[in-house]
A and B are shown apart, each in its own frame.
Chain A
């Protein structure tokens, strides 16, 4: 009796451990960037390519940075949520277009000159926003993905909440659902904007 109790107890503990472990999302890697200053960059603006913009231009504002690309399938899923958000909420939402051309895999990058890549990237990004609606205050073009690396991007879409001091307060990997927006992002924005 006593022995069975121990065996069963051990087994139950193991099942509980595995249940918790398997319930975790292995993609949900905690970002070490939360609580740190948003990495600096200076990227061309999609709507006016001669201009550049970086996080320091957003100092004093609470803002969102959403990483997207036209080849990213999950971005399409989250897009309506962002469009809805931009209509209702007065928080700047900046897009970071991540490797628009070279991320696609359709192109042989060894044969494409940089100028042509740039032209194509702007064309494609503009078309995608025209087709699906543009929720972004503006979009910044990260053609080679270097800024993405600085932000620890590994699965587009990703979204960052950055506070008035330029500190990253939250990172979400994967598409934003209305639930995540309502339960996590909106309360955080309200708190930061106090």
Chain B
């Protein structure tokens, strides 16, 4: 039952993919331009379904934006000009790799800062642990030894 549902789902997913690729196929006649379009649109976020790139998304807006990018490639615009076109309209948010600046500092620096903090915490913990162990790891004094012996004797008298 599960298997059948899965096969069904896969079937529909594949036909949907074919359908979308055929409608756009007419536009995609130039393989070099298509490659550039692919590379560019993988760097750009689709604002409708925010966790997909413009390359992956089948939303209306993503299709429109792919059309715009195609047009700009045809006009001979550079990659930078095309990316700037997007940023001017939708902000840094469209970039999957936003530029490093004041507002994105926490985003870029956060993981590194967190790792450094973690390393320091680990080092401190290991050092404390080492001193704790060495402090506890003293041989028994004569007094303690005799007490331990007495206790052991108590437990299992011969």
Determine if chain A interacts with chain B: yes
- A interface, CB within 8 angstroms of B: 26-27, 29-33, 99, 102-103, 105, 110, 145-146, 149-152, 154-155
B154: shortest Cβ distance to chain A, in Å? 36
Contact B89 A32 (CB under 8 A): yes
In the complex, chain A residues whose CB is within 8 Å of the CB of B92: 32
In the complex, chain B residues whose CB is within 8 Å of the CB of A27: 50
What are the nearest 9 A-B pairs in CB distance?
A: A154-B47, A152-B89, A32-B91, A29-B93, A152-B90, A145-B64, A154-B61, A154-B48, A30-B91
A98: shortest Cβ distance to chain B, in Å? 10
Contact B90 A32 (CB under 8 A): yes
Known: A26-B50, A154-B48. A32 touches B64 (CB 8 A): no
B158: shortest Cβ distance to chain A, in Å? 45
CA distance A154 to B44 in the complex (A): 14
Give 26 pairs: A residue, B residue, CB < 8 Å, sorted on A.
A26-B50, A27-B50, A29-B47, A29-B90, A29-B91, A30-B91, A30-B93, A32-B88, A32-B90, A32-B91, A33-B88, A103-B60, A105-B60, A110-B23, A145-B60, A146-B68, A149-B65, A149-B89, A150-B89, A152-B90, A152-B91, A154-B47, A154-B48, A154-B61, A155-B47, A155-B48
CA distance A145 to B67 in the complex (A): 11
CA distance A154 to B64 in the complex (A): 11
- B interface, CB within 8 angstroms of A: 23, 47-48, 50, 60-61, 64-65, 68, 87-93
In-complex Cβ contact of B68 among A103, A149, A154 (8 A)? A149
In the complex, chain A residues whose CB is within 8 Å of the CB of B65: 149
B113: shortest Cβ distance to chain A, in Å? 13
In the complex, chain B residues whose CB is within 8 Å of the CB of A33: 88-89
In the complex, chain A residues whose CB is within 8 Å of the CB of B68: 146, 149
Contact B64 A149 (CB under 8 A): yes
Give me 14 other A-B pairs in contact (C-beta within 8 A), A33-B89, A154-B48 excluded: A29-B47, A29-B91, A29-B93, A32-B87, A32-B89, A32-B90, A32-B91, A32-B92, A103-B60, A149-B89, A150-B89, A151-B89, A152-B90, A155-B47
CA distance A32 to B88 in the complex (A): 6
A183: shortest Cβ distance to chain B, in Å? 24
A107: shortest Cβ distance to chain B, in Å? 12
In the complex, chain A residues whose CB is within 8 Å of the CB of B90: 29, 31-32, 152, 154
